[in-house]
């Protein structure tokens, strides 16, 4: 695991959205200091965010986003942690790890501190198995393997695009569940990693998440949330649904389970309910939409898949609410902005990139 961390030192950026000083980085210093940080400051751009000494970082506020993207900055959410996806766009690294500033280092049952980043790297560097479920979960871990009856033709797996980590202490609950279980804490450490099967959606949480930017980066758009929008707290889930149908289409895998972080702070359930309440109704239409999405054979890249998906969102979900017209347009703007900052490699006369 240590060698993997060293191996990717120059191939991975850590993206952190924040509105406050990043004192939490002190506890992550042993694990994060070798890496480059991209900090996306939300809210008032005139406020100074303090970062502990010794970290290599770049910081972007709303003024920077407007300057870099111009009119296309409209696709980046304001006053919402969804702004983190701007960091994905400006990164030039192959891998991204994103974490919230209220997520602390967790300990495993033996009391050892968990290097969440190293485990994510291990997940991303191992294949996924979306086409056939292995009842011993992750077959590539030490001490595990494919069980009897697992087809040999599928044991090579597929590239892993996303590693979705979990949380001890404060669970990632929606507002209604928070309200009826205000004191509930997650103390269960489940030592498992599994591939989410093809055709199965999941609620992706962005507070402890890693992905291969080269494989799936353009689909990691966290939507239009926060200031001026009718919905919040669905940013990471929207990205997860989009990523999952695109990964299924392109033959890529998504893993969930280890690593754990310690989620320190519960957000206000009444504020959350105000942000979520439309989404709670809308998702009864959104989920069947994604379950039935079929992308064309011409959709051979993430960008092509995403633009095609945006058209389907406009065609199928605009009847739910006019917000989805605006979101579909923002999805296309996001891809345009992504390609502006990350132009595809051009071939020379010999056909080589």
Q: Model confidence over 281-337: pLDDT tens digits?
A: 999 999 999 999 999 999 999 999 999 999 999 999 999 999 999 999 999 999 999
Query: 122-156 burial, b if ≥16 CB within 10 A, otherwise e?
Result: bbbbbbbbbbbebeebbbbbeeeebeeebeeeeee
Confidence of residue 345 (pLDDT cuts 50, 70, 90): confident
At 344 the pLDDT is 82
Q: Examine residue 216 and state whether it is found in any structural domain, yes or no.
A: yes
- Is residue 217 a contact partner of residue 211, using CB atoms and an 8 Å limit? yes
Q: Examine residue 1 and state whether it is found in any structural domain, yes or no.
A: no
**Which CATH number is 21's domain given?**
3.90.550
Q: Model confidence over 245-275: pLDDT tens digits?
A: 999 999 999 999 999 999 999 899 999 999 9
How many domains is the chain built from? Answer: 1
**Dihedral in degrees, nearest 10, Cα atoms 178, 43, 340, 317:** 40
Q: Examine residue 348 and state whether it is found in any structural domain, yes or no.
A: no
Half-sphere exposure of 101 (CA within 13 A, CB side): 21
Residue 110, pLDDT > 70, answer yes
Residue 347, pLDDT > 90, answer no
Q: Examine residue 329 and state whether it is found in any structural domain, yes or no.
A: yes
Largest CA distance in the chain: 65
- Is residue 15 a contact partner of residue 93, using CB atoms and an 8 Å limit? no
What's the predicted TM-score (pTM) here? 0.96
The interaxial angle of helices 302-317 and 269-291, nearest 10 deg, is 100
At 1 the pLDDT is 44
Q: Model confidence over 57-78: pLDDT tens digits?
A: 999 999 999 999 999 999 999 9
User: If we measure between CA atoms, which residue out of 129, 158, 123 comes closest to residue 260?
Assistant: 123
d(CA 129, CA 150): 11
């Amino acid at each position: 695991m240590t060698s993997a961390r060293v191996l990717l030192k120059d191939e991975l950026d850590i993206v952190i959205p924040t509105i406050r000083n990043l004192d939490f980085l002190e506890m992550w210093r042993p694990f994060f200091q070798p890496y480059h940080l991209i900090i996306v400051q939300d809210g008032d751009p005139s406020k100074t965010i303090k970062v502990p000494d010794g970290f290599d970082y770049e910081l972007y506020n709303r003024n920077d986003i407007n300057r870099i993207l111009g009119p296309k900055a409209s696709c980046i959410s304001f006053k919402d942690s969804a702004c983190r996806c701007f960091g994905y766009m400006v990164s030039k690294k192959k891998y991204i790890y994103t974490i919230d500033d209220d997520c602390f280092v967790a300990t495993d049952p033996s009391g050892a501190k968990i290097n969440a980043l190293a485990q994510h790297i291990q997940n991303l560097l191992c294949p996924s198995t979306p086409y056939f479920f292995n009842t011993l979960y992750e077959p590539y871990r030490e001490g595990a393997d494919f069980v009897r009856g697992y087809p040999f033709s599928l044991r090579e797996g597929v590239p892993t695009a996303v590693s979705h980590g979990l949380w001890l202490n404060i669970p990632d609950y929606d507002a209604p569940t928070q309200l009826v279980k205000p004191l509930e804490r997650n103390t269960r450490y489940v030592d498992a990693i599994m591939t989410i099967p093809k055709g199965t959606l999941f609620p992706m949480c962005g507070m402890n998440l890693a992905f291969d930017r080269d494989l799936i980066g353009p689909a990691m758009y966290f939507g239009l949330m926060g200031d001026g929008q009718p919905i919040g707290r669905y940013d990471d889930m929207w990205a997860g649904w989009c990523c999952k149908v695109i990964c299924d289409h392109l033959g890529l895998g998504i893993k969930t389970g280890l690593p754990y972080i310690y989620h320190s702070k519960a957000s206000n359930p009444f504020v959350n309910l105000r942000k979520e309440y439309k989404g709670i109704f809308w998702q009864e239409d959104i989920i069947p939409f994604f379950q039935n999405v079929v992308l064309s054979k011409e959709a051979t890249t993430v960008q092509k898949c995403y633009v095609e998906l945006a058209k389907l969102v406009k065609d199928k979900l605009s009847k739910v609410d006019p917000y989805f017209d605006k979101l579909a347009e923002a999805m296309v703007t996001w891809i345009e902005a992504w390609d502006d900052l990350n132009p595809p490699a051009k071939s020379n006369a010999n056909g080589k990139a």
